[in-house]
A and B are shown apart, each in its own frame.
Chain A
């Protein structure tokens, strides 16, 4: 296998539980001074979610003069946040939300964007900047489309300007979706929270008012039953643990050969283990049978299982190509057909697939892997309409460089470079991918479907 893959479906390491050694050094007493004088990058220690902790440390500045901005500010007040509508000179802000839900021309951007800019110096570490805007569709008047598309450039640039663990992300509301619809609220809360620690410079589209807010934001998935494929190790195990923490009964699935690790994961979260080769024709039906017989329902499917068989295309044999396509793509398509065709699933089914930045930007030596992951993105976009009638949703996450056992085995220089090539200047953790998946699998994200959300710290490659 080649070592350049930014994301591997692999095992978490102990390095995944603490910052990498360079980050530890430059954040220490000695290293801070050294890094400062030499102008070395100083990756921040990211604020990550833990149940019961404050949603956001510090006041939230809501910019924008539309009714949508007022309504959103009201929701934030109900969450007992310290909400400001105008920046004071000495405010140490936790977040800035720029509401641009009624843009008609590029000139309207100047005031709110510069207001946000004036407050950037006062941002706390790990602050959040959010834009809320509308899609720049080709059917619009050119002036309106230009204004809306401009937000894209602003947000992606701003994300690169922020420091100390702060991130910038955008929410795009489809026509008719308001700033207080379930999906908007869910997305705002996700981006403000530590759950989105490694999501940076990304846009999420809310397509409809579908979905439902949870009774408890601490256990937003209470009572749900989920299946996580590739759950024995790495990102899959983190997904299972995160879902369980949020209230889910999890069925972890992996190949029989990984059964011992799978059992350990299942037992640690009081779930059940299902040893299964997902490329088998009956895999989808067996998952359905297991979930329904043992747990009475199936609400969430996380297609995480994946393999890499890297080779330059000139040296690629059929075995390498076919295995990757079979596991990473064909199996998901086949299982989704079974789930969608099942009369036993009557509630809204939420499917989340793990794609990869390789599937967006490409990667040398990974034509097969990139094909499978790009294929997953295509599949997700086209499956959304099939799930909509029952209120279901399907989305993908595309992890960038994630600290796993497999990335830990990359050559030092390659790994160090790959790790720093993003706006947060560090690798993400399996838990960061898991948190994003847990959000997309929640009813609060019910209005979000067909999206691909990158968890990459705004990796320099691709979009």
Chain B
């Protein structure tokens, strides 16, 4: 990797600090109108190679759409726009979302577009459609995401690809033979997708292992978070929380990764899988990291007027969203630390503090990611020097964190995670109603490959 030469070991550059919180909130005082979450639907998430091993992204996204259509009686209706995406995507799926719409019970006159922002794809589709609704461009929208690690695209090697393209252009036998002759045995090995960062060659887990160590997050703390995720998700299932958020698929009725009976003892027995170069200090195991997962999720959005005119429920309002990115290439920040900067900016713009939230949905790419982010927010030095605040951003009440479980238990089909979180949080906020005389409020934080992060605020309706 040529770019790897530029990585600075110390984690500092001479560039100016670009991720600071602006001192003046800049949110317009009057917004055109509001966008609300009507509901959601997802299929249970399967472990890679499991129940959905032979399902394509299009199959799963169509199934998730059809379940949503059935829940809200949208058969043959035209929706303003459907936006979804997949991270691991075949080139033939260039119109994945539109194709899924055509295969679903929605009106074929429903337009659709694909979007891709790594693990933030799902949340970004929600924010994009919510913005269109707020601007009055559409009345309704379905946001979503899907990913299959089982049915991942496998490409041919660069050498074989170049030779095949030459061959297709060759006119004479001699040219054809010349093209074929360029193929070397090593070119025949397929090129499978990986979760490695193109600019560093390191896997996401190895990146997080560095961040986890940097923020001195211990093994037990990570295992405890994983345990809470499994217990919270299992409890949510047991009380029927997902009955109107999920539609079974291919015989799966619950997330296959969920281990309701896991324990600190069981988690403690697992060997580290990332950061092994830290030796006995390695902390990241298969238990406190998300596995490769297959699944799809959808969220039904609308203007308040549309939802009411259709006699549909209003669960929560999409208040605002923010994206951030970090310079992980030069080691300035950890790969998955962008939300640590996005959230303070979002809070400042909305004149809110962490104390103003009743629920926090911080995507558990790894337990270490959540805990590193929380540690950064609690760190006075980080708050002063990196965020430009007077001190630490703040501490969150852990009882408000991922109360119905998150990705460590449910699994993480990359683009589908945003939809899972938005729909679950919207329902939770609606159930909670008001807190201290104001609508219950939730914060979503999702980290993504490429050093990115997208965060959002939802309020109960």
Contacts and interface: CB of A to CB of B under 8 A. Distances in A.
Q: Do A and B come from one complex?
A: yes
B73 A271 contact: yes
B66 A294 contact: no
Given A260-B248, A260-B249, A273 B70 contact: yes
B248 A256 contact: yes
Interface centre among A256, A268, A274 (most CB of B within 10 A): A256
Contacts, number: 70
Interface string A421-458: 00000000000000000000000000000000000000
Interface centre among B73, B240, B244 (most CB of A within 10 A): B73
Interface residues of B, number: 23
A263 interface: yes
B246 interface: yes
A257 interface: yes
B247 interface: yes
A270 B75 contact: yes
A258 interface: yes
Contact of B69 (A249, A259, A263, A277): A263
A380 B144 CA distance: 46
Nearest to A280: B240
A296 interface: yes
Contacts of A263: 66-67, 69-71, 247
Interface in B53-72: 63, 66-67, 69-72
Given A267-B66, A273-B70, A293 B246 contact: no
Contact of A259 (B67, B72, B76): B67
Contact of B243 (A249, A271, A275, A295): A275
Given A266-B70, A266-B75, A267-B105, A259 B311 contact: no
Contacts of A259: 67, 246-248, 253
Contacts of A271: 70, 73, 75
A272 interface: yes
Contact of B311 (A266, A276, A294): A294
A257 B73 contact: no
A264 interface: yes
A280 B69 CA distance: 25
A83 interface: no
B312 interface: yes
Interface residues of A, number: 26
Given A257-B253, A259-B246, A260-B249, A294 B69 contact: no
Interface in B242-267: 242-244, 246-249, 253
Contacts of B69: 263, 267
| Dominant SS among interface residues on chain B | loop
Contacts of B242: 256
A268 B249 CA distance: 18
Interface centre among A249, A268, A269, A275 (most CB of B within 10 A): A275
B72 A256 contact: no
Given A257-B253, A260-B248, A293-B311, A266 B240 contact: no
Contact of A260 (B63, B75, B313): B63
A268 B66 CA distance: 10
A262 interface: yes
Given A294-B311, A294-B312, A260 B73 contact: no
Nearest to A294: B311
A229 to B, nearest CB: 15
A270 B76 CA distance: 7
A260 to B, nearest CB: 5
Contacts of B244: 274-275
A260 B62 CA distance: 12
Interface in A294-330: 294-296
Contacts of A256: 240, 242-243, 246, 248, 253
A91 B313 CA distance: 61
Contacts of B75: 266-271
16 contacts: A256-B242, A256-B248, A260-B248, A262-B70, A264-B66, A264-B70, A268-B105, A270-B73, A272-B70, A272-B72, A272-B73, A274-B244, A276-B243, A277-B240, A295-B311, A296-B311
Interface of A: 249, 256-260, 262-264, 266-277, 280, 293-296
Given A256-B240, A259-B247, A271-B70, 10 more contacts: A259-B67, A263-B71, A267-B75, A270-B73, A271-B73, A272-B70, A273-B247, A275-B243, A275-B247, A294-B73
